[in-house]
């Protein structure tokens, strides 16, 4: 690994008012704004109660969400398979190593599973447009499995794809929220193990700081307006997932990571979410390490919005942007 850059430019915490952040020029409909209001009014309090509930309540929520069957897989076959000692949803029928593969690490505050009618639906559309297959690892969840169980499973999934014969330059890595955190941790694991890097990565609204519930600043500045994330309740997530581990470890808090050797990254976030500055700070650090970073901030829409095409018609454009980024880099190295 290289020595750290002389001035990584992360000493002063940013806010969305800084000139470097320019909102994507997209019109958000009144319908979408109303749905955002409904989420803030009903979903955010419900998630707060669930996170603060007993282990039994969390387990019931995990079972409920995992049972939401995907109603639209863009015509692609979906199966539950084991790859690299990690089970998960495989999209695209049989293994075909001539195709590109999208390895998507789902979010859910490290305690919620992939929701097939949300995660599989979104990844299937991306795979359909790329003529690719996809895999969503069903990594082990907190509070029943603490760090590093989830990250270990994601590493096993990546190694499993390589063992099946998928060329690393034909693998696109992505993840939203906690999955974005795991994605950035996985890139560190890949480098540490001397494995070949994937062609590119797409962290969507990643959480990159696990040790400070009160910072970066957007966590307090936007905690009342975020439509989904109950900021105060998320303090328990660090306890459930990280336990007694050092939360300044870059595998837990990628904001502090050595990003040397990372592939091109395309980061997305919303100006309406508490984790906006998590994304901004990580993007700054990655750029300081010489990573090819693209970064877009969308207005109004909620945390991890590229998954919610069924709710917000504008999300199709966000998914198209992700597809274009992956196609560019998969084609460049394929």
> Does the pLDDT at position 210 exceed 80?
yes
> Does the pLDDT at position 294 exceed 80?
yes
- Helix (DSSP H) and strand (DSSP E) numbers for the chain: 10, 8
- Structural domain contains residue 162: yes
Q: What is the pTM (predicted TM-score) of this model?
A: 0.93
Residue entry with tokens 């274009």: 324
> Does the pLDDT at position 127 exceed 80?
yes
What token pair was written down for 47? 């998630």
Residue entry with tokens 């000493």: 11
| CB-CB contact of 263 with 197 (8 Å) | yes
Concatenating the DSSP letter of every residue in 35-88 gives HHHHIIIIIHHHHHHHHTS-HHHHHHHHHHHHT---S--TT--EEEEEETTEEE
- Over range 34-38, report the average pLDDT: 98
> Does the pLDDT at position 217 exceed 80?
yes
What percentage of the chain has pLDDT greater than the value 90?
A: 88
> Does the pLDDT at position 16 exceed 70?
no
- Structural domain contains residue 35: yes
- Over range 192-219, report the average pLDDT: 96
Tell me the pLDDT band of 235, cut-offs 50, 70 and 90. Answer: confident
Specify the CATH number for the domain of residue 157: 3.40.50.1820
- Structural domain contains residue 2: no
| CB-CB contact of 138 with 234 (8 Å) | no
- Structural domain contains residue 23: no
Output the CA–CA distances (angstroms, integers) from residue 196 to 98, 166, 173, 302, in the order listed. Answer: 18, 11, 13, 34
Q: Which structural domain, as residue segments, surrounds residue 311?
A: 30-333
> Does the pLDDT at position 19 exceed 80?
no
Tell me the pLDDT band of 315, cut-offs 50, 70 and 90. Answer: very high
Q: Cis omega (within 30 of 0) on the bond before 148?
A: yes
The tens digit of pLDDT for each residue in 64-100 reads 999 999 999 999 999 999 999 999 999 998 788 999 9
| CB-CB contact of 149 with 139 (8 Å) | yes
Residues acting as catalytic residues: 177, 273, 303
Lowest mean pLDDT across 92-96, 189-193, 311-315? 92-96
Alpha-carbon span 205 to 269, nearest angstrom:
5
- Structural domain contains residue 9: no
Alpha-carbon span 278 to 239, nearest angstrom:
19
- Structural domain contains residue 13: no
- Structural domain contains residue 52: yes
> Does the pLDDT at position 5 exceed 70?
no
- Structural domain contains residue 7: no
Q: Specify the number of domains making up the chain.
A: 1
């Amino acid at each position: 690994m290289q020595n750290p850059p002389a001035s990584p430019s992360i000493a002063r915490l940013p806010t969305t008012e800084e000139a470097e952040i320019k909102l994507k020029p997209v019109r958000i409909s009144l319908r979408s704004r109303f749905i955002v209001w409904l989420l803030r009014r009903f979903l955010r309090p419900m998630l707060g109660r669930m996170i603060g509930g007993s282990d039994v309540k969390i387990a019931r929520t995990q079972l409920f969400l995992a049972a939401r069957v995907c109603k639209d897989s863009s015509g692609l076959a979906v199966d539950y398979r084991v790859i690299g000692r990690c089970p998960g949803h495989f999209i695209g029928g049989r293994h075909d190593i001539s195709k590109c593969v999208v390895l998507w690490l789902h979010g859910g505050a490290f305690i919620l599973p992939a929701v097939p009618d949300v995660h599989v639906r979104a990844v299937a559309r991306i795979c359909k447009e790329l003529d690719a297959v996809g895999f969503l690892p069903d990594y082990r969840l907190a509070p029943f499995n603490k760090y590093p169980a989830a990250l270990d499973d994601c590493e096993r999934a990546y190694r499993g794809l390589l063992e099946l014969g998928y060329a690393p330059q034909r693998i696109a890595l992505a993840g939203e929220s906690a999955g974005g955190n795991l994605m950035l941790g996985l890139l560190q694991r890949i480098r540490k193990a001397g494995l070949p890097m994937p062609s590119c990565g797409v962290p969507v609204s990643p959480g990159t700081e696990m040790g400070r519930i009160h910072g970066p600043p957007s966590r307090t500045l936007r905690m009342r307006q975020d439509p989904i994330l109950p900021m105060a309740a998320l303090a328990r997530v660090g306890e459930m997932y990280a336990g007694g581990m050092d939360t300044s470890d870059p595998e837990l808090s990628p904001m502090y990571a050595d990003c040397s050797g990372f592939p091109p990254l395309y980061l997305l976030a919303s100006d309406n979410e508490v984790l906006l500055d998590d994304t901004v700070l990580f993007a700054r650090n990655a750029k300081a390490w010489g990573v090819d970073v693209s970064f877009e901030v969308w207005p109004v829409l909620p945390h991890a919005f590229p998954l919610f095409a069924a709710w917000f018609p504008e999300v199709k454009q966000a998914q198209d942007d992700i597809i274009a980024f992956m196609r560019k880099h998969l084609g460049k190295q394929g």
